[in-house]
Amino acid sequence: MQKKRWEGKDKKPLAMAAMAAATTPVTHRTNAQASKPPSGKSSRPPPGPCPKCNEMHWLRECTQATAEKKEELFRRLRDAKKSKKARVKRLGEMLPPTDRTVTLNGVFEFPYCPDSGSDFTIIGQSHWQQLRAIDATLEAERLDTPVRSQAFGSTWVTAEWKVKLHVLIHTAAGPVEPMYAVDVLIADVDDDEFIVGNDLLTTLGINVDQQLEQLAGRGDDETSGDSINLEADDLPFHPGQPESSDDDIFAAVERLISRAVEKGFPVDRVEQLRTIVHAYDVWRLELRADPPANVPPLEVRLRDGARLTKCKPRKYPPHIRTFLREFNARLVSLGMVYENPHSRWASPVLPVKKSADLMDLRQTTDYRVTNAETEVMAAVMPILSVVLENARGKKHFGLFDFLKGFWQLPLAEMCQEFLSYMTDEKIFTPRRVPQGCSDAAIFFQKTMETCFASLLYEHLLIWIDDLLLYADDIDTYLDKLAEFFFAAEPIWTKAQRQEVQPVPV
């Protein structure tokens, strides 16, 4: 191939000539500058006073510092500068901007920071002035004794005033608001965020120390627990154990009565309690082939244009295959699921370990793909920190837990196939509400609220399958206990075991 004319041997000399022309003036200028004597003072003003004498001149020009002292001060300034840059980079560039906001008195919204290390909830001076400009009805109250709080390092913040504010905290799951106005200290400094202190966090039921203790108390077995964040779908039966008889159930209820007495239930009212709890056929030690609860079934609705979802078979170790085979055979015998080889829908089962025991397993189902094709029910779960205020000051309580409650609720036939699941051998379709599916938890909550509407919030709190009965005095408690069992009996007949623990506070 013939080379172009400009790619010939003249290219290198031209390039070298151009480089020489460009570098010659620079060399000449540098030499000229080097020939000038150095100046004793800088023409640029210093950024601040001298760290030695506090006069406005550069440290190198200070006449009161020796050469060794100047070197030491230079080293300190360099170290401080490096530390400051690292801290700013970590906070400003590496951490994402916060999207946590709080609304005060329904009129003023700005960022907040939950801080369990702060004993008090605090608002800065500038934000207080802005809030006061919006809501002129607010009145601050002077503290009898000013509160001094130590911030990070050795910085101290003083608060001489406090104000009662209605605080609405915005979270990803929805707003959280205490029932009553809370005391907020007005600090003498400005801060970009509203500090939600430990006093407010505790009111909302958040105890960081307790949560850390619970975390430390968990087992060390890394294989235990759910592999993904799904609701626990525990065994509705105990393999290898015979079904309990009526005598077994009677004895179990008697043990609950004895436990209630140990917790402080009045001894002179035990016979009345015994009459009530044995009068209603609502007790079970394990699930049997009972019909589902007498309530409307859950209807799962597909989105417009929903696509079929069917997973592929998965491989499992031999002991897990044995567990899945026995588990689902038992579910089929109880009538809770049925084999459906023709199903066009199938989600994968996820066996997870409950403990370090090899065969202590639980079957869960990954419904995430199926849930994405369904319409979510428009309903609201109660805010526990708010509804628990209804039980404040009560004297007698009873705790109840439905036995595998989700397995007792019916699932509409029209949507059963959507929730089919696949093991390594077969496809099964549920007849009852499976945990982890769309709307399961909220459906259970709303069903319970409907069943016990006459007691709700006056004498009963419900959180899915956990219930708390409460009353001011023992007579009212026993009346409401009988009313509770009377409402439950036509819905569940021997469908669940309920634990009774009346405890005087």
Find the CATH number of the domain harbouring 199.
Answer: 2.40.70.10
Beta-carbon contacts of 74 under 8 Å, excluding residues fewer than 6 positions away, are 59
The pLDDT of residue 153 is 58
Query: For the chain, which residues score pLDDT lower than 50?
Result: 1-39, 82-96, 219-233, 235-237, 494-505
The pLDDT of residue 473 is 94
- The answer as to whether 9 is a domain residue is no
Same domain, 277 and 184: no
Residue 206 tokens, joined? 């958040």
Instruction: Give just the sign of the alpha carbon dihedral 243, 247, 251, 253.
Output: positive
The pLDDT of residue 315 is 87
Same domain, 125 and 260: no
Same domain, 179 and 272: no
- The answer as to whether 425 is a domain residue is yes
Structural domains counted in the chain: 2
Rg (C-alpha) for the chain, rounded Å, is: 36
Same domain, 138 and 199: yes
Same domain, 259 and 192: no
The model's pTM: 0.54
What is the extent of the structural domain holding 151?
101-209
The pLDDT of residue 53 is 80
- The answer as to whether 89 is a domain residue is no
Same domain, 300 and 359: yes
The pLDDT of residue 241 is 60
- The answer as to whether 476 is a domain residue is yes
CB-count burial class (<10 Å; 0-12, 13-18, 19+) for 92: exposed
* Closest residue by Cα to residue 180 from 164, 159, 157: 164
